[in-house]
Structure 1
Amino acid sequence: MKNTWYKDSIVYGVDIKLFQDSNDNGYGDIRGLMSRMDYIIDLGINTLWLQPFYPSPLRDFGYDISDFLGIDPRLGNMDDFLNLIKLCDENRIRVIIDLVINHTSVDHPWFIQAKSDKDSPYRNYYIWRDEEPENEEKKVMFEGVEDSVWEYVAETSSFYLHSYYKEQADLNIASLQVREEVFKVIKFWLNLGVSGFRIDAAHALTDTVSNDQTTKNNLNEFLDEIRKYTENINPDAILLAEADVDPKDIQDYFGKGDRMHMLFNFFSNQYNFLAMARNSGEALVKGLELTKHVQCKHYLNFVRHHDELNINQLDSDEQKDVLEKFAPDEKMRIYGHGGIKRQLVPMMENDIKKIKLMYVSIFGLPGSPLIHFGEEIGMGEDLNRKLRSAVRIPMQWSDQMHGGFSKAPIDKLNHKPLSNGDYSYSYVNVEKQVDDPASLLSFMKSLIKKRKSCTEIGHGTWDTLSLENDKLLAIVYQVEESKLLVICNFSSKKEKGKLGSIMENDDLVDLLSDSEYKKPSKSIEVNGYGYRWIKVVNQEKII
């Protein structure tokens, strides 16, 4: 039987360190996550994406790993992890974890030995130069933070490559020994019961600039090897990749359906914000059309995740419009203005119509949806914090001490709660919203439930539909004889679209909408920032 469970997934991203502290050491932990499982189940989640929980100096929120086969003792132990997997299995929740194979921490034993001895068996695990290259082509990922991708080590008078922070040394994926280490990591965690991996920084993994030991083709072939190795251990496991690349390069990550199962959809993400900035559904249609040529694809769509909002796939005019609308102040921008360190609700100025539309549109796009923890209650950012720390705020459970995240003294918290302003835990928290039918949390629960019932979105063929109105986005899905029409209005005003005779013999029934509407005939009406998901009954072929 073909593995397709991920097409029905509702993914919930969790940074364990920021979710729930069970022992008051200032760090969220695995037992804390388990204590909140009823909340996750009630939300309607069926897939957890766990961000790094491995031993780490935490220079980059745990993505600087010093042991790929361990649990950070501040977050728990291996028994805790196994108990978490068991609890998730009992509640039919899949668990995928981060597979960070582009780099290690400079505190990893491999690197410590490699930097100390040119003859070390671990030397070739990394990429070295005896002299710093003068004309480096590889782009600095963290512009304004790092000024080079090369860092000098005195022990061997040489330079190592780091695509990200200097504390994260790039692995040499051309090395067969490194690949064997990657396979060991995959086997270890699959045998413990995870259902797959998110491959972090896959776009950097296959970037051969600065590495004269390999070619892009054999790096792409390594993705084939990862897929085969994973499926040999667990045919049901999936691979999700972070690959923020040009449209022409996306096919490399899906291959012929023999590489990644899913990719994060950076295009739908960025063009969704452009659509809202320009009040134009046509803008989001452009984002969809840019990747429509890709074969064997399935995307994970998201509004926000654990990082900044990256807008580098937009052209300069598009970036300008998004920045002026959603990040007008310089302190809202990071990494050379290619990123926005804000959360959705503040960006939408707490306008609930806009907020709902952003989530309905993402849930209605081809693929599967992601919610990052805290989004469902509308958590905000702290612009006084540096870089990505601005959007990495502990979960706000209540209006009690530290938002119910921890009872540790404030100076022991690994990240401080948001205690001031309109989005502090005093005003924005789970307890305040959980029993309020008008809350964002209640809306998100109902949206998740509705999305689960609309299997056409995850499994169907699709096409955009012209309604002769550029304010509207319209997508029609089909699975066998079942059809679904998704329409979103990115204008503040009520808009009409022309259906013409294309569905005149069909019965159109609203499944999800911002208000009650008359049944459409040759035209369809949608309120300002409104939406309609419509079941098409007695269909004619319209795709």
Structure 2
Amino acid sequence: MKATKWWQNTAVYQIYPKSFNDTTGSGTGDLRGITEKLDYLKDLGAGALWLTPVYPSPMVDNGYDISDYTGINPQFGTLADMEALIAEAKKRDMRIVMDLVYNHSSDQHPWFIESKSSRNNAKSDWYIWRDAKPDGSAPTNWRGIFGGSAWTYCAERDQYYLHTFAEAQPDLNWENPEVRAALFAAANFWLDKGVGGFRIDAITYIKKPAVFEDGTPDAADGMVSVHDMTANTPGILDFLHEFRREVFDGHDIFTVGEANGVSVAELPDWVGENGVFSMLFEFAHVLVPYEEGECWSKMIPWKLTKLKGALSASQAGVAKEGWYPIYFENHDRARSVNYFFPNGGDTRLAAKALATVLMTLRGTPFIYEGEELGMTNVRWDTIESYDDISSHGQYELALKEGFSPAEALSFVHFNSRDNARTPMQWNTSEHAGFTTGTPWLPANENYHTINAAAEEKDADSVLSYYKQIIRLRKTNPVLLSGVYEELLADNEQIYAFSRTAGNRRIVTAVNFSAEEAALPAGFLKGVRLIGSYADAPSTVLRPLEAVVYEEEVK
């Protein structure tokens, strides 16, 4: 195997700064709060910390609407706080990874304020502007990701602007070389500050089709998802190769793109020596309840073979070239112990089961804050209790589809992004030890039993299991370089796979069901490296049991 890079042999920990640790009593997490917890993260085994956006922002979409790409939002601190965080992390051999949101800016960004002021200013074509249809309606019937039209009318120009996401997030015009140069300069600003890489948000939307036209409606509102009309448009890779040349090349960093719309077959064009990013987040495995589009009211029951097939396809896609970022949670998804185990069960065992898969697949594991504690979804009583903009859009869409308010709210309970955004659960003090003030979003009420302080003292906790299995992954070369092969592919209870390097073979077996699951005779051989039950299994895996074995092969 080729020499591995630092980011291939570490675990990345994603931080949602607003909900991580508040040192001022404002109710909002801050950069000093992250610095304060660096030793906790080092002890966990993290080697890189990806921060969701901390730039100045009106916070319409919790920081993904950026009004200054080279500043720090005062609610998170100062540029000096950011520099201190980078330096303190480096002392602990950890790197800070920034989130680049380059498909769109905030509508409060000076670029957009100038662009919308007239049709003939210096930045008039820095965004996507189109005339109305002859009847005065929006240029196309595209629905934004958060619901409603993807177009908003601007009186100053008597035109509509495109926003793939919220009205306050106008799409930038990547066809304009001045736009690209400005974005690349901002990324280089952060490289000069010493960051260790970038996660690139919603990047598959930056290239728009040459002709904008209506699509076939896919719901009762008469609209079609903008994703189906613009994602991964041919020509996008030309922009991204330029991005790589102007920013990434020549630096010891990693880049990971959020690439909803890129198929496994296309992965070689996106990652590896000839690709544009170090890694690419895929979505197939987290979209198992959906057949087409992520419409929460259209979820369907799914079989384990669908999840296994998606993960195996991703492993195969980067087997020869490239590298895979493994994840089950992030700031846009529900908590994994609820999402992947919709029928319930012991959430501690569920968390350990997913951790076992996360840490033994080939690739770099990404842990989302609180995932290492087994944090769970919340269930608030009203839609008004939810802050997440997409939850409100999906709730309204469900009502239009004919569902009752109670049914619409149940979809929000299961899928809301707020599930991942409740405050980090540090201890049993008020608001889970996150803040001495009033938290911007309420803490999950189960923080009295699920919290870092308690789990650090419990050898059988989810946190203790994460520490053990991260250490195992870092110290066992088979888990870094070993070839992946799926086992028991047709089994609807067990996800099993092997990793083989030289004469060593590691087998992971995880029971995703709440019943015992039989194993073939002699399936688990050699030495048990780790398991989620205290003792070793026999010929069956107990409910939600996960085990990892290593053997010598000839």
TM-score after normalising by structure 1? 0.81
What is residue 368 of structure 1 aligned with on the other side? Answer: 364
What is residue 204 of structure 2 aligned with on the other side? Answer: 203
Aligned partner (choices 526, 531, 535) of residue 508 of structure 1: 526
Query: How big is the shift at 1:135?
Result: 7.1
What is residue 316 of structure 1 aligned with on the other side? Answer: none
What is residue 488 of structure 1 aligned with on the other side? Answer: 510
Offset from partner CA, 1:150-197 (integer Å, 9 cap, x none): 111111111100000000000111111111012101110011011110
- Find out whether 1:9 has 2:6 as its counterpart: no
Is this contact kept in 2: 1:467–1:497, CA < 8 A? no
Alignment of 1:88-99 (within 5 A): 88-99=89-100
Is this contact kept in 1: 2:11–2:366, CA < 8 A? yes
Higher mean C-alpha deviation, range 79-88 or range 129-138: 129-138
Is this contact kept in 1: 2:493–2:517, CA < 8 A? no
Query: How big is the shift at 1:255?
Result: 6.7
Offset from partner CA, 1:1-30 (integer Å, 9 cap, x none): 966222212111101121111122222111
Structure 1 residues 210 and 511 mapped into 2: Cα distance closer, same or farther (>3 Å)? farther
Offset from partner CA, 1:251-293 (integer Å, 9 cap, x none): 442276431111224233445999xx98965333311343324
Query: How big is the shift at 1:303?
Result: 2.0
Alignment of 1:356-435 (within 5 A): 356-384=352-380, 385-386=385-386, 387=391, 388-408=417-437, 410=438, 413-418=439-444, 420=445, 423=446, 425-435=447-457
Aligned partner (choices 279, 283, 286) of residue 309 of structure 2: 286
Aligned residue type for 1:56: S
Task: Give the Cα separation in 2 of the matches to 1:211 and 1:458.
Answer: 45
Task: Give the Cα separation in 2 of the matches to 1:379 and 1:118.
Answer: 50
Is this contact kept in 1: 2:351–2:371, CA < 8 A? no
What is residue 238 of structure 1 aligned with on the other side? Answer: 254
Query: How big is the shift at 1:468?
Result: 7.3
Structure 1 gap segments, 5+ residues each: 311-321, 327-341
What is residue 334 of structure 1 aligned with on the other side? Answer: none
Structure 1 residues 162 and 473 mapped into 2: Cα distance closer, same or farther (>3 Å)? same
Query: How big is the shift at 1:127?
Result: 0.5
Alignment of 1:174-189 (within 5 A): 174-189=175-190
Task: Give the Cα separation in 2 of the matches to 1:511 and 1:279.
Answer: 31
What is residue 494 of structure 2 aligned with on the other side? Answer: 472
Structure 1 residues 361 and 40 mapped into 2: Cα distance closer, same or farther (>3 Å)? same
Task: Give the Cα separation in 1 of the matches to 2:41 and 2:191.
Answer: 23
What is residue 222 of structure 2 aligned with on the other side? Answer: none
- Find out whether 1:307 has 2:323 as its counterpart: no
Alignment of 1:38-437 (within 5 A): 38-132=39-133, 136=140, 138-142=142-146, 146-206=147-207, 208=209, 216-234=233-251, 236-245=252-261, 246-254=263-271, 257-271=274-288, 282-291=305-314, 292-293=316-317, 296-309=321-334, 348-384=344-380, 385-386=385-386, 387=391, 388-408=417-437, 410=438, 413-418=439-444, 420=445, 423=446, 425-437=447-459
Aligned residue type for 1:227: R
Task: Give the Cα separation in 2 of the matches to 1:461 and 1:229.
Answer: 34
Higher mean C-alpha deviation, range 48-57 or range 465-474: 465-474
Task: Give the Cα separation in 2 of the matches to 1:90 and 1:499.
Answer: 47
- 3-state secondary structure, aligned to 2:280: strand
- 3-state secondary structure, aligned to 1:223: helix
Count of aligned residue pairs for this structure pair: 488
Task: Give the Cα separation in 1 of the matches to 2:418 and 2:304.
Answer: 32
Query: How big is the shift at 1:223?
Result: 1.4
Task: Give the Cα separation in 2 of the matches to 1:113 and 1:468.
Answer: 58
Is this contact kept in 2: 1:199–1:239, CA < 8 A? yes
Task: Give the Cα separation in 1 of the matches to 2:127 and 2:330.
Answer: 29
Task: Give the Cα separation in 1 of the matches to 2:458 and 2:256.
Answer: 35
Is this contact kept in 2: 1:224–1:259, CA < 8 A? yes
Higher mean C-alpha deviation, range 468-477 or range 120-129: 468-477
What is residue 535 of structure 1 aligned with on the other side? Answer: 550
Aligned residue type for 1:483: R
Task: Give the Cα separation in 2 of the matches to 1:456 and 1:303.
Answer: 22
Higher mean C-alpha deviation, range 286-295 or range 426-435: 286-295
Structure 1 residues 28 and 346 mapped into 2: Cα distance closer, same or farther (>3 Å)? farther
Structure 2 gap segments, 5+ residues each: 214-229, 292-299, 392-416
Task: Give the Cα separation in 2 of the matches to 1:272 and 1:475.
Answer: 23
Task: Give the Cα separation in 2 of the matches to 1:208 and 1:202.
Answer: 15
Higher mean C-alpha deviation, range 487-496 or range 167-176: 487-496
Query: How big is the shift at 1:41?
Result: 1.3
Is this contact kept in 2: 1:395–1:405, CA < 8 A? yes
Higher mean C-alpha deviation, range 119-128 or range 288-297: 288-297
Task: Give the Cα separation in 2 of the matches to 1:381 and 1:479.
Answer: 38
Name the % identity: 29
Is this contact kept in 2: 1:8–1:455, CA < 8 A? no
Offset from partner CA, 1:60-90 (integer Å, 9 cap, x none): 0100000000001111111111111111111
